[in-house]
Amino acid sequence: MSNLFKTKSVDKLLSESSVEKNGLKRTLGRWNLISLGIGAIIGAGLFVRTAAAAANNAGPSVTIGFIIAGIGCALAGLCYAEFASMIPVSGSAYTYSYATMGEMVAWIIGWDLVLEYALGAATVSIAWSEYLNKLLGYFDTNIPYQWCHSPFESSVSGIHGIMNIPALFILLLLTFLLIRGARESALVNSIIVITKVSIVILFIIFGWSFINQANHTPYIPEATKFVDAQGVSHNFGGILGILGAAGVVFFAFIGFDAVSTAAQETKNPKKDMPMGILGSLVICTVLYVLFSYVLTGVASTEDFRTAGKEASVTYAIQTYMTGFGWLGKLVTVAILAGFSSVILVMLYGQSRVFYSMSRDGLVPKIFSDIHPKYSTPYKSNILFFLFVGLFACFVPQDIVGDMTSIGTLFAFMLVSAGVWIMRVKNPGLKRGFKTPLVPLVPILGILVCGAMIFGLGWANWTRLFIWMAIGFVIYFSYSRFHSKINSKD
């Protein structure tokens, strides 16, 4: 049984990453990483999940939810930064937990990260489909409802969805781009980041004068229950509503940790990793709080439950911001580009995590096969396109979005614990960046992330439990017997 918790030494991790033949190329710098982080962070969480959290959980106090989520991410981000500077190899939280808590916990994290990256990509691709239809509407055309929604959704007029074809299309396009290489992907991402950050700032500036204070009154609604279109009951208003909103909009912060998956392709990871993680997080937190305040002031909570549920930002602009129709169109185009960069980073992160797991023998070798020309894990990219595509085509956005949030929060809790454990087990190990106030910061990170998990409710707890149960079946039937570190015993 002790072998289940056998750790992989930091020296061994660093040695493998430096001597591996035909490995990943170190091509990314500090600003590439910050751009990568912003590219992943600003996307569906801001442009879609903000309205969902306002409608289902907190109304205008979704702004407070963003602050709580930002605090939780900052605490976890400090822990990620220490690990990334200390263990600059691919794999993110999976690799860190392998070095601190052993193989079985590493497997739990790696399996859990599928919820973050793969289902995160599915969530954003569904949002991409929504805004594509909004764009096509400007040209008096659209994709029929049944071909851009899952079978579990139906329109106001009673039309049932069949499959989400646009979501599958964008996943395929970006998978091909990832196969071409990290440098090409980072260049495209940087251009998109500049565009969508500009749009966020424009919306904040122009939308501020259209804020209707009635939409912010009361700022924290009275605690009640709200049942959404899928029949799921939510805590609305009060402290539980705000915690629920924090758990939902937490999705908007997912991405800064994806920076850590690029450690093995970073030129100077010990210095650049902390800057990429924390820099992207700080920039986005400020923009989020301002953006959510303006959006919930321009449009009402009831809008986000009805006509403004889909493509909510464009709806708010076109409905309430007279004279800014041009901004609505520009926002739609920029959001489509922005969503594309988020999907790109999510798919990138997922393939790199399984690349590391495959090298350790926990998943089949196909996930670490490198393309002879592009030096990317191309087979892994293709397999995850098929997996993510199934969720994007056939599962509603709210379900995959909340599964992404709860899976990521769980990973953040384990990373926070890992930093504390590593300080106790190996205090003398060289660290390019040190998390301040250990163990206080890790403990607070665990508590804040745990509170957000609590706010997401029993339906999401159940989904997480089922997902973890499937993971344990795979680990004990395959991974444990193919583990390279245990096969040497």
Q: What is the pLDDT of residue 2?
A: 43
Peptide bond into 151 cis (omega under 30): no
Q: Which of 278-282, 414-418, 438-442 has the highest mean pLDDT?
A: 438-442
Q: What is the pLDDT of residue 248?
A: 85
- List, for residues 448-468, the tens digit of each pLDDT value: 999 989 888 888 888 889 999
Q: What are phi and psi of 8, to 5 degrees?
A: -105, 125
Q: What is the pLDDT of residue 16?
A: 61
Mean pLDDT of 426-441: 84
The candidate with the shortest Cα–Cα distance to 186, out of 71, 30, 366, 362, is: 30
Residue 204 has which token pair?
Answer: 């904040």
Least trusted range by pLDDT, from 52-66, 165-179, 216-230:
216-230
Q: What is the pLDDT of residue 22?
A: 42
Q: Looking at the predicted structure, is the pLDDT value of residue 338 above 60? A: yes
Where residue 227 falls among pLDDT bands split at 50, 70, 90? confident
Phi-psi region of 158 (alpha: psi -120 to 50; beta: other; left: phi over 0): left
- List, for residues 87-98, the tens digit of each pLDDT value: 766 556 777 778
Classified as helix, coil or strand, 233 is: strand
Q: What is the pLDDT of residue 21?
A: 45
C-alpha span between 242 and 238 (Å, rounded): 6
Q: What is the pLDDT of residue 27?
A: 66
Mean pLDDT of 250-255: 78
The percent of the chain in helix, strand and coil, each rounded to the nearest 5, is: 75, 5, 25
Residue 28 has which token pair?
Answer: 């990314």
- List, for residues 352-381, the tens digit of each pLDDT value: 888 888 988 899 999 988 888 877 888 999
Q: Looking at the predicted structure, is the pLDDT value of residue 145 above 60? A: yes
C-alpha span between 444 and 441 (Å, rounded): 5
Instruction: Look up the CATH architecture of domain 25-487.
Output: Up-down Bundle (1.20)
C-alpha span between 282 and 284 (Å, rounded): 6
Residue type, 452: M
Specify the higher pLDDT residue, 22 or 249.
249
- List, for residues 154-201, the tens digit of each pLDDT value: 777 788 889 999 999 999 999 988 888 655 556 666 677 778 788 889
Q: What is the pLDDT of residue 214?
A: 95
C-alpha span between 100 and 102 (Å, rounded): 6
Q: What is the pLDDT of residue 181?
A: 67
Give the domain ranges of the chain: 25-487
- pTM recorded for the entire structure: 0.78
Q: What is the pLDDT of residue 432?
A: 73
C-alpha span between 41 and 22 (Å, rounded): 31
Q: What is the pLDDT of residue 101?
A: 79
